[in-house]
Amino acid sequence: DSYSLLILPGDGIGPEVMTEVVKVIDWLQANRGLSFDISHGLVGGSSYDAHGTPLTDETMAKAQAVDAVLLGAVGGPKYDDLDFSVKPERGLLRLRKDMDLYANLRPAQCFDALADFSSLKRDVVAGLDILIVRELTSGVYFGEPRGIHADNNSDNEGGRVGINTQRYTSGEIRRVARSAFELARRRNNKVCSMEKANVMESGILWREEVQWVRDNEYPEVELTHMYADNGLMQLVRKPGQFDVILTDNLFGDLLSDAAAMLTGSLGMLPSASLGKPMANGRPKALYEPVHGSAPDIAGQGKANPIACILSFAMALRFSFDQGAAADALERAVEKVLADGVRTADLMGPEGGTPVSTSEMGDRIVA
């Protein structure tokens, strides 16, 4: 059978790194008997240039219909002065919102060859392989009421108050918990859930509902709970103690950015955002590198394509059930790095073989 994939290269280095993913796809089709039904579309500034909107309804409909969407990056200085309603980022936000992608997956994987790039000591991060699952569509970034108001009724210096609301329903917690437990099943059956149940009611609910899903639906998974402040400290102190970390939108924002620094360059970090299961049982899914459109290096063949290639490896694993192909692809990346092949962002004091975006793609395919 054939898998449907919508490729949205986007802006800046997005199309450059996506070209390398297409090389990988071509190789898999020619050598591994996989078959992809690929369509291409525009998102971000490139869509605005062509259609006056960062995402057309047609592209949105296509994204809803495919097995997986793979996105490069959006944005760039050319679009900085556009009206907010048509900014490139709005295209990405609409994809995430309309597809209801509530589980954001950020793996923190440290390839041995890059362990010296970490902000931590080599022996703390070498071989690290953890997965942060962050709730992405609710919590304090979305909760009502919110706003900045006058507050003159007290001896409040400045006379204003800023309000955001941390709000989670049990249903929102259960569905993202299921995502984390499903992922844990494919890994080491181990989840650590993080909140602040010591000081927040939403944290108490979070803890109870996650435990409920574990007890009723995933009894084989080992579940622990940790206060998120301690969790962040533990992540930096001894990251190898974790496997899957499940947390809310706000704490996940902090934890995933910190985890990114454990592993080195922005050019290495993949991500996935998953939604409800579709008719075929697999979740709606958008895969994208963590980095942006990198206007400072766009068009120069300097971009590291590995983040985008590893995002596609996640698609192989989670949307196409091709775990063996995903493993092979990750091993190819590992091998190329071990051989000292380096795009500019990975060039450390120990040197290496400097390569362009396209050469990096070729080496991985080889």
List, by residue number, the catalytic residues. Answer: 141, 196, 229, 253, 257
The residue within the footprint of ligand NAI, chosen from 307, 315, 337, 355 (CB under 6 A), is 307
Asked whether 66 and 38 are in contact (CB, 8 A), the reply is no
Q: List residues binding Mg ion (CB under 5 A).
A: 253, 257
Nearest to 193 by CA among 181, 183, 207, 205: 207
| 106 in a labelled binding site | yes
**Which residue from 339, 317, 338 is spatially nearest to 326, judged by alpha carbons?**
317
The answer to the question of whether 320 is labelled as a binding residue is no
Strand partners, 134: 104, 247
Nearest approach, Cβ of residue 74 and Mg ion (Å): 16
CA nearest neighbour of 193 among 132, 142, 271, 149: 132
Known binder of ligand: residue 134? yes
Judged by CB under 6 A, the stretch of 119-127, 130-138, 165-173, 292-300 that binds ligand NAI is: 292-300
Rounded Cα–Cα distance for residues 227 and 246 (Å): 12
Verify binding: residue 22, ligand NAI, rule CB under 6 A: no
Using CA of residue 134, residue 140, residue 142, residue 144, what is the dihedral sign?
positive
Contacts of ligand NAI in 69-88 (CB under 6 A): 73-76
Interaction between residue 303 and ligand NAI (CB under 6 A): yes
* 29 assigned to a ligand binding site: no
Min separation Cβ 271 and ligand NAI, Å: 9
List the structure tokens of 99.
Answer: 């597809």
- Residue 253 binds what, of ligand NAI, Mg ion, none (CB under 5 to 8 Å, by partner type)? Mg ion
CA atoms of 9 and 22, how far apart (whole Å): 11
Estimate the crossing angle of helix 306-318 against helix 357-365, to 10 degrees: 40
Tokens matching residue 245: 């970390």
Task: Pick the closer one to ligand NAI by CB: 175 or 291.
Answer: 291
156 is in an annotated binding site: no
The smaller minimum CB distance to ligand NAI, of residues 239 and 264, is found at 264
Tell whether residue 217 is among the known ligand binding residues: no
Burial (CB count within 10 angstroms: exposed 0-12, middle 13-18, buried 19+), residue 168: buried
Minimum gap (Å) between residue 257 Cβ and Mg ion: 5
d(CA 309, CA 366) in angstroms, rounded, equals 14
Binding partner at 294 among ligand NAI, Mg ion, none, C-beta below 5 to 8 Å by kind: ligand NAI
Q: Fill in the DSSP letter of residue 112.
A: G
Give the binding site for ligand NAI (CB under 6 A): 13, 17, 73-76, 89, 92, 266-267, 288, 291-297, 303-304, 307, 345
Binding residues: 76-89, 96, 106, 134, 229, 253, 257, 292-304
Binding residues for substrate: 96, 106, 134, 229
Binding residues for NAD(+): 76-89, 292-304
